[in-house]
Amino acid sequence: QDTGKGGYDHYMLKEINEQPTALGRSVSGRTDSGGEEVDLDGFLPGSFDGIDRVHLVAMGTSYHAAMYAESLLARRGVPARAFMSSEYAGSTPPEEDGTLVIAISQSGETADTIAAVRAASAERTMVATNVVGSSLTRECDDTLLVRAGPEIGVAATKSFSAQVATLSLLAERIRRDAVGDPSPDAAAFLSALTRLPDQVRRVVESGAAERIADAFADSESYFFIGRGPGHAVALEGALKFKEITYEHAEGFTAAELKHGPLALVTEETPVFAVFNGGTDDTETLGNVKEIRARGGPVVAVAGGETSDLAETVDHVLSVPSTHPELAGVLANVQLQLVAYHAAKQRGRAIDKPRNLAKSVTV
Ligand code: G6P
């Protein structure tokens, strides 16, 4: 028994269970329960005056947090683009005044992300990282800590949730400076953010993900779809699944299905569909019906009232109801648990999957 695992079989499961605490640390003192203030460490109002656009650079799970943040920034009227660091370093977009380059890295040591920041050194750079004093904190002009706490499992879990929470506060701070006023539903969003830790606790305590992993233990491939923040979560759900189960898993934006991946859908390919709880759910439901018509089993990961949805899909993995821009965090926790239990059934080396490293520094 490794005492570092605190009674859990794996660090990954321990870290999944630590997410309420990690999220609490990311959010506490940075906003108020009334949902009006954003007090992000040293980033006072006006810190981002003159910023017109944001480039987010990251790899792996952090790239999915970057995609999530891209969606949050864009919805707040701040033009943003997420890049894989390796692509950014290889073909950096032309320098334009007013660009903020944000590196996202749990470790702060990922070589591709350091290269991207160096390639962007003429711009204002900032890193959102989990590790105080890491290389990226020295490379970048500014540092924002995500406060997830130490993460040991190779498969990133709590760092993703903490990255999204921290970046969502940063998105609101940048919006206020760039556009000049709070985003229209800032109060609802920020108060939902303060409720998120408790809601994540309810997800990890529910036990539903293990039953889903059992139900699809013999499938051929596993697909994940979603839109907006749910697209980032679909990619992250597939990454987690392939990393630790060694099974074929792929994530798509839900709209992409009929442009190719639908050809792969059979009775042997369960599809996990992430619903945000917003207006885009209708379209995602349309995509789900296309999958069902081809015999593909569908697991909807959705919040709120799901009885209508339950008539269309095979299983509902439910999450507590929240703001549509935060539902993805809760859905992602369910998908982490599905991947964990699927990997455990297969006897995989969950904390140290073959061929992978926690931090890729070369
Ligand atoms: C490796 C790890 C991933 C991680 C990625 C980026 O691939 O196995 O879990 O998401 O690096 O790491 P970073 O420390 O930059 O977030």
The CA–CA distances, whole Å, from 73 to 52, 116, 222, 284 equal: 11, 20, 30, 22
- Res 33: pLDDT: 66
Q: What strands, in cross-sheet order, belong to the sheet with 221-226?
A: 248-253, 221-226, 271-274, 298-303, 315-319
pLDDT digits (tens, 9 = 90+) for 299-334: 999 998 888 899 999 999 999 999 999 999 999 999
Q: Is 129 in the pocket of ligand 1 (CB under 6 A)?
A: no
Q: Is 59 in the pocket of ligand 1 (CB under 6 A)?
A: yes
Give the orientation angle of helix 60-75 with respect to helix 158-179, to 10 degrees.
30
pTM of this prediction exceeds 0.95: yes
The CA–CA distances, whole Å, from 276 to 284, 319, 324 equal: 9, 10, 5
Q: Is 113 in the pocket of ligand 1 (CB under 6 A)?
A: yes
pLDDT digits (tens, 9 = 90+) for 193-226: 999 999 999 999 999 999 999 999 999 899 999 9
Q: Is 116 in the pocket of ligand 1 (CB under 6 A)?
A: no
Q: Is 263 in the pocket of ligand 1 (CB under 6 A)?
A: no
Q: Taking 60 as the threshold, does the pLDDT of residue 161 lie above it?
A: yes
The band of 93, judged by pLDDT with boundaries at 50, 70 and 90, is: confident
Collapsed DSSP state (helix, strand, coil) of residue 255: helix
Averaged pLDDT, 105-121: 96
- Closest atom of ligand 1 to 62 CA is 16
Phi, psi of 299 (to 5 degrees): -110, 115
Q: Is 106 in the pocket of ligand 1 (CB under 6 A)?
A: yes
Give the orientation angle of helix 19-27 with respect to helix 158-179, to 10 degrees.
20
- Please give the distance, rounded to the nearest whole angstrom, from the Cα atom of residue 225 to the centre of ligand 1: 22
Q: Look at ligand 1, atom 3, and give the residue with the nearest C-alpha.
A: 60
